[in-house]
Structures are given as structure tokens and as C-alpha cells.
Structure 1
């Protein structure tokens, strides 16, 4: 018996085909894939191994490859297959020529074919924006026509003729051909274009991973290999840990750069703690600079839903003396004004996002030895507490 009640107006499930396709493509939440051999599913040895706690499930590791770029402080994944795996399995990184999903090559191929059947997410967004703009223009023109007809009828002493005002429920986009589109090409020119072979289109886009995303994939799943651009050799975990921390230290004067390597308030450590915390809770974490925040939290990913939460990373020093001697200027570490906080909260409330203040407590150097920062084990000394901030609306919250 089906649990889905058919919709008498528009079918059983509007947009169900697209939703099912997204569930198939983006079904894996992480790059690792767990697989059970088909021949071993009903094998008697499977039950015997299960009694001893030995699983027969295999872990398929994609082993993607990227190159560290010191100028952009990120990791570039140039292989299109690896880029597709990292994006579709957890939405890691973003395309450098795209808004989020690396779809530049697909958009170019679609433009060549000019079929309009297969649209990327960015093309769908631009199409909807153009339709909304055209609807507003048509509605404004109809309102102006209705006002002119009412004035003319009042002056002539007659009843105004009805003017159809388009509404969002009934309005449908119509093609507006231009002078160039109305011209039909000559047969000779058409044959020449058809006979001319198309040049192969090179994919110029790469997937760009932040340092936090790259280290999360390396340290937790070992599914990403980072290449040193100077030697073209794979970097070890210790080299990656040291390189990612030195990104912020290299910007300091030479007398301060070396001692800063062993500080707990290194911006990479503070930002990674927040990123790792929310990723470990099952959220898809993306950058939130568009909404004046540090992070955006998606329940499943940008393809399925909009971000539900916007996160501001708030560093807090356990020992105030460490803040006074720090060579780093951490964002949101100083006391903020209520006007600034109200502004950020208002921006995110307008886009249906709940603001979260994530306070990352930086351990005191007097309590924990700074030599522990030479290993990722130092992350265990950090702690996070969350404060959910909601905008107070007197008209809705009187009870």
C-alpha cells in the first residue's frame, strides 16, 4: 500500500523526478563508500564472521589528488573525476569558475548545443531571475496601461475597459525575439557552419578546497593526497600540518613568525576546530561570506535545501595574557557592538537562517605546553559552546 497521497491537481509528487535524481547522484554523504560483495551477502561464512565481530563490508577509498597553492591558501583539485567525487560526496570545495558546483564545462557544452534540455543549477537560477524580472516588467506595463485607461475613461465620462493584470499564479514567460534572432541564416552559411568541425572544449575549471576542508579529508578519511608545488611530491601528514599552520605565520615579521608556529590561537587551528565540530555532527559546512558570517550549515547540501544556520566563529582566550601577547588579529575576538550584531542577525533573518555564535575556547599556554601544537592531537584541548540568537519580533512573540 502506498503512503503517498496522489495530488489531484498536479500529479503524485511535483518535482519528484528531479528529487529522486538528486538523491541518486548525491546520495553518499562522504567520499568513502561502504560496499558488501554480492556473493558474500548470503554466504554462511558471513554469519560466522559476524559472531566474532569481523565485518565483511569493504571500504572503497577514492584516493583523490590535489595541489597546495600558497598564493590562494587553498588546495586545487584539477582532475575532473576527483572533483566530481569530492563535490557529489559531501559537497567539498567549490569550482573556481562557478558559484558552487564545478559546472563551467557543462555550461559551455550546453551553450554549444543550444538545446536547453540540460541546465545546470546556475543556469536554472539565472533563468528564474530573468523570468521574475520579465514578470515585474509586464505587471508594471499592465498597471500603467490600466491607470491610463482609467484616466481616459474618467475624462470622457465612460466606464473604463478592463485591463488584465498578470499575477504570479497565472503569468507564463513568453519569448521576446530580438531583431538579431528574427534573422534567418542563409542556406550557404548554414551548410558552412554544419560542415565545420567543432574544436574540443578543454575543461579549465578546478575544484578549490579550503585548508579546513582539505585537512578534514586528509586526517579523518585519508582520501586526499596533497602535492607539494615545489617538489611535485606527495606531502606527509606532518608536512601538511606544518604547512597549513605556517600560511598565517608567513605574513608576520621574521622575529614573530617562528614563535607564532607554536601558538594555540593560530587562525588555521581556530577555524578548523569550528569546521571539524559541525562536520562531525553531520552538517554540510560551507563558507558564509555572502551573508556576513563565517560558516553556513546545510542539512544535506546546497542541492537539496537552503542553509538552515549561519555561524559566527567567536574565539575566546582561556588566559587573557595570551591575547595580549598574540601576534594574530583574530576576527570577532574583541568585544562587538550590539548594532553590529543586530545588523548581522537582521541579514540572516531575512533569508530564513538562524544565527549561531560558536565560541571557540583557546587553551591557555600556561596550562598546556605549546609543543603540543606540533601534532593534530592538540585539537583535543579546544572546546566549543554554541549560543543560538534569534531576532525578537514583538508582534509574533507577545505570548
Structure 2
């Protein structure tokens, strides 16, 4: 008699250990931490009167502003890992995303000492094993077919060659042959490797200007240093410098161009701030021909669910006609282009979102407000989801 709905022992799912490590390492969604070490009884009593002993722990990281690359460089490893692990800010300049150059070099050195294989060597080993499995399976199938042909010639019986069975290896039963003779290190070469100088971490975390300003203005956890004086920049200096970084390079003996409402930094920061404030992890989306990618928790947990294309919209069309800023996607886009972008992101299971950022009219607001982040209140955001129509799947 079987018990339906009884207690069943659940076996641990594959990759559970790695997921638990990621949940522990990337537990904080932002660099700031809310800490409350008071007893639960005290918290409940204070909660009745609307009080709390929660403390906000704000780290203070440093980064250098680089106007040529339009980025902020964080050179201290502790600051880089803190910003990456608490919100996935920035990108390692020598890595694909997380700054792991030093860890990879240490693994390479240990691999040369014969301790273990690097990730690249593991990948090549798996590829070689897959090739050998295909060769062994093809040889086994050919042997069974030759045996069936020999039976037909000798006895006249027709035997259908089996494509599965104990004679035919499968992915579950096949095992690579053990390697008896492998490369070994001599005592002299091992001592030479062990006596190498310690590696110096030459990688830095590269923050976009939108990420850097969000960390500096909203979270107050990043001090941005001037590239020439090494002195911390004020919020006003940061705000103006980031806008000037997107303007045409200044010509000698000519005044610096005035700030405009359609500055590319302002347009994209409005979209970045909008989604970051809603709890999304925002990363660059140039790989999929979009401006941003939205992650629910972060790149190490799941793939991005949404792809964002920022579309500037002028409140006053006269401003667009007289503007000297060549904003991307400000003109009416081609439907072939939109279909291409939508198809690319549909193939990778991402929903395309057109984010329209409305630029305030110059006739309504004075340009003096651009010297302060308070001008962001004049911008608005609208969103349109674009889904690809597939007739074979959407008939019901």
C-alpha cells in the first residue's frame, strides 16, 4: 500500500551548494547595510511607538574620474569587490564581468605546479572527452552493424542492428579511459614555480558614469577623485564634469559648450536611476544591441529578463530642430531595425522594453537648473513592452 502525499526524502538538487554560496556572498543588494543588534523584545517594544535602533552602515570607496573613457576607476581591490558583490556595480577591465584576474592567475600558477586544472583546461578536457565518446559510440555501432551483416551472409537471417544496449556506450555509462602516463614536474621545476614572486593585482573596477553618480549621490558610498589633483570632487563638480564628458571635445581658445537638457548623460541616467530605484540590477546591454539589461537579483543568479532601449522624446519639437546633440534613437526608428532587435532578444528569452525619456522644453524651464541634480525632477519616463508575434505559438 502506497501513501500518497506522505513524507518523502528530498535529494539535494544539482548545483545547490553553488547557489547557497552565491546567496551568502551576494546577500546584500546595495553597498549600504542596515544593522540592528538589539534584542527582539526591545525591537518589538520600540516598534510599538514607531522607533528603531537600526543603524545604516555606509562604506566609503574611492574612484578616479577618467573623462577620456567616460568612466570611474576603482583601483583598491577591497573597494572593487565590495561594489561588485553588493549590487554588481562596474566591471573588471581584465575580466568579462566580475574582477577575477588575480584569482585566475593564481589558479594558473597552481595548475602549473600540478595541483589542479584551470577552468580553460577543464573545458578542453571535457571537449576531448565528448569527441572520444562520439568516436567510441560510432565504432561500437559500426561493429554491431558488421556483426549483423556477417550473420546475414553466413546464416541468411536478417538482424536489425541495435542502436542501444550494453554494447553501445551511452552518456550515462561511458567513462573515459584512465590516463596512465601524464606530464610530471621535476623537483627543480616545482621549486622554481614555488619560488615565484607574489602576483600583483593590476586589475581595476571600471564604473560607468551613471553607476558612479548613483553610488555617489544616492548612496553616498563613493568618493570620486579628480584625475589631476587627486582631491575629492564635490557633488556639483561631479554633476557638471559628467555632463561635459559627453559633449564634443573642447577646441582650444573656445569656451566650453553650455549644458543642454538633451545631454546623453542626463537621458541615460534618468533611465538607469529609474530602474535602480525600483530594485533592478542594471547592466550594459551592448551585447544584445540594447542600452541596458535588467536582472532580478544579479548576473550570477539568473539571466537578464528584460532588455531596455532608451528612446529620448522632446517635449518641444522646436528644441529637437535646433539641437546640436545627435541623440541616438531620437528620430523615428525603422521598423526593420525594431524587428531585428526584438528578434535577437526573443531568441535569448528577453522581453524588449522601449523606455521613453521625455526631455523638458527649454521655453518652460531655465537652463540654470542643469547645474544641479534637481533638474532630474523635470524628466519623465514611459515604458512600452514589445513582444514578437509568432503565429504558430499564439493561435490560442
Question: TM-score w.r.t. structure 1 length?
Answer: 0.84
| Deviation at residue 37 of structure 1 after TM alignment | 3.1
Q: Partner of 1:137 in structure 2?
A: 131
| Deviation at residue 7 of structure 1 after TM alignment | 5.9
Q: Counterparts of 2:72 and 2:31 in 1: how far apart (Å)?
A: 17
Q: Counterparts of 2:254 and 2:395 in 1: how far apart (Å)?
A: 54
Q: Counterparts of 2:201 and 2:286 in 1: how far apart (Å)?
A: 27
Distance 1:211 1:198, change over 3 A: same
Q: Counterparts of 2:219 and 2:26 in 1: how far apart (Å)?
A: 18
Give the SS at the match of 1:311: strand
Distance 1:127 1:334, change over 3 A: farther
Out of 189, 198, 202, which is 2:200 matched to? 202
Q: Counterparts of 2:63 and 2:291 in 1: how far apart (Å)?
A: 24
Give the SS at the match of 1:107: helix
Query: Retained in 2: the 8 A contact 1:256–1:327?
Result: no
Q: Partner of 1:347 in structure 2?
A: 344
Query: In the alignment, does 2:231 pair up with 1:233?
Result: yes
Question: TM-score w.r.t. structure 2 length?
Answer: 0.85
Out of 169, 172, 190, which is 1:170 matched to? 172
Which segment is superposed worse, 57-66 or 107-116?
107-116
Q: Partner of 1:63 in structure 2?
A: 60
Residues 1-399 of structure 1: pairs in structure 2 closer than 5 A: 11-38=11-38, 42-43=41-42, 53-114=50-111, 115-116=115-116, 123=119, 130=124, 133-134=127-128, 137-138=131-132, 140-141=134-135, 145=139, 157=152, 159=159, 162=162, 170=172, 174=176, 182-186=182-186, 188-189=187-188, 192-193=191-192, 196-251=194-249, 258-259=256-257, 261-399=258-396
| Number of corresponding residues | 380
Query: Retained in 1: the 8 A contact 2:289–2:341?
Result: yes
Query: Retained in 1: the 8 A contact 2:244–2:259?
Result: no
Distance 1:388 1:210, change over 3 A: same
Query: Retained in 1: the 8 A contact 2:73–2:205?
Result: yes
Q: Counterparts of 2:326 and 2:230 in 1: how far apart (Å)?
A: 33
Query: Retained in 2: the 8 A contact 1:250–1:257?
Result: no
Q: Counterparts of 2:188 and 2:387 in 1: how far apart (Å)?
A: 62
1:38-91 CA deviation, whole Å, 9 max, x = no partner?
Answer: 4x6555xx6776566443111111111111112211000111111111111111
5+ residue gaps, structure 2, are 1-6, 154-158
Distance 1:73 1:61, change over 3 A: same
1:22-42 CA deviation, whole Å, 9 max, x = no partner?
Answer: 11111111110111134x655
Q: Counterparts of 1:390 and 1:332 in 2: how far apart (Å)?
A: 19
Q: Counterparts of 1:129 and 1:355 in 2: how far apart (Å)?
A: 33
Q: Counterparts of 2:14 and 2:9 in 1: how far apart (Å)?
A: 9
Q: What RMSD, in angstroms, separates the aligned Cα atoms of the two structures?
A: 3.3
5+ residue gaps, structure 1, are none
| Deviation at residue 350 of structure 1 after TM alignment | 1.0
| Deviation at residue 20 of structure 1 after TM alignment | 1.7
